[in-house]
Amino acid sequence: MYRKVITLIIPAWKEQLDVKLRNLEWLQLPENGLQVIFICSESVVVPPVFAERGIRVHFLLEQERKGKAVAINAAMKQVDTPLVIFHDANTELQPDSILHLCKAFSDPTIGGVAGEKRVQTDRNHPGALEGYYWKYESAWKRRDANFYSVIGGAGELFAIRTELFEPLPEDCILDDMELSWQVISKGYRIAYAPQAVTTEPPSESLKVESIRKIRIATGAYQFLDRHSLLSIFRVSFRYGIQFLFRKWLRWVIWPLLTLSMPLIVWVALWYFPEPESTRKLGIVFGGILTISVAGGLLSFLRVRVGWLGIPFYFLFIQYCQIRGWFRYHLGNPTVLWEKSDRSRNTLR
């Protein structure tokens, strides 16, 4: 167990801080207590129980919203603890999460620890597919950690050794990916703590979810623009292998294949014009398209789709990736996160 004081940084522009404080009130704490820094537009009264339990709360006030990277940089100037945890205000932290994050740092080769993000939803909600996606991501994080390192911690709950932090570029979009790279580039690994759980409801609709995913995709291409695949391999071959198959292929190859699908079908028909070949191709691609459309329509109608919705969600992600590429290369990407409407959100 890591016994020293820990700092929890929570960017919270226009969030309901009193609700978030209630979530933090009964956290299980490290032996020497916890320091919490909110970066926000206004402060609130902190209940006396926080001081009684050894939780020190500070409010770093900002009059202008300049993005999460700027907020994190400002907060890190106030940090003098050996470990720092980054956490989003609109998610709910489970009581024992901090203790589970700290355990992994007993290994001196670990420079960061990724927590577990869970989307709370019922199967009939249109956001159920988002829940499936995060279960898939969590399964891969476990495998990544067992192979060498988690590729990148999610901004909802991610801890690092304070000494590894460097100020983030002010125009940084994916702060969690940049923080993860800081850990890896200094020769450390990122562990995975599946018991360190933070939860949030799903997006209210696919339209709302697309705004978030397009922004994440925009940040992905910014990251690739600043950190080439070759430079990643030079730092760590094992991490480079992981990054190639887990991120680079997803961000580069899959969107290209999706865009090229009509051409692929046309070439296949050109080289295999026989009626039997045409029929088989029609069955394969027509079936994929039919299942995707059906999954999306049923999800929109709040009908339980289960695994039927996965082909649709895969194409939905590719659409967002392609939109993100155009936004980064042709548009004017912003560092400001748009608030997503979250159904049954207990933290807002």
Three-state secondary-structure class, residue 177 = helix
Tokens encoding 313: 């969600």
**Residue appearing with tokens 């026989």:** 274
339 pLDDT exceeds 80?
Answer: no
H or E stretch including 11?
strand 6-11
- Cα R_g (the chain), whole angstroms: 22
- 146 Cβ contact list (under 8 Å, min separation 6): none
pLDDT tens track for 172-209: 999 999 999 999 999 999 999 999 999 988 777 777 88
CA 239 from centroid of its chain's CA atoms: 18
3-state helix vs strand vs coil in the chain, percent to 5 = 50, 15, 30
User: For 309-321, what is the mean pLDDT?
Assistant: 85
Of the pLDDT bands very low, low, confident and very high (cuts 50, 70, 90), residue 338 is low
Whether residue 348 contacts residue 19, with contact meaning beta carbons closer than 8 Å, is answered with yes
Secondary structure string (H, E, C) spanning 239-271: HHHHHHHHHHHHHHHHHHHHHHHHHHHHHHHHH
As a whole number of angstroms, the distance between CA 311 and CA 130 comes to 13
pLDDT tens track for 137-159: 899 999 999 999 999 998 899 99
Supply the pLDDT for residue 347: 35
As a whole number of angstroms, the distance between CA 280 and CA 346 comes to 50
Of the pLDDT bands very low, low, confident and very high (cuts 50, 70, 90), residue 260 is confident
128 pLDDT exceeds 80?
Answer: no
Whether residue 11 contacts residue 68, with contact meaning beta carbons closer than 8 Å, is answered with yes
As a whole number of angstroms, the distance between CA 170 and CA 12 comes to 17
As a whole number of angstroms, the distance between CA 76 and CA 223 comes to 22
* Beta strands at 34-40 and 55-61: parallel, antiparallel or unpaired: parallel
Sheet with 55-61, side-by-side order of all strands? 55-61, 34-40, 6-11, 83-87, 157-161, 110-119, 189-200, 92-93
User: For 110-125, what is the mean pLDDT?
Assistant: 82
Q: Which domains does the chain have, with CATH numbers?
A: 6-204 (3.90.550.10)
Three-state secondary-structure class, residue 293 = helix
Whether residue 168 contacts residue 219, with contact meaning beta carbons closer than 8 Å, is answered with no
- Share above pLDDT 70 across residues of the chain, in percent, rounded to a whole number: 82
263 pLDDT exceeds 60?
Answer: yes
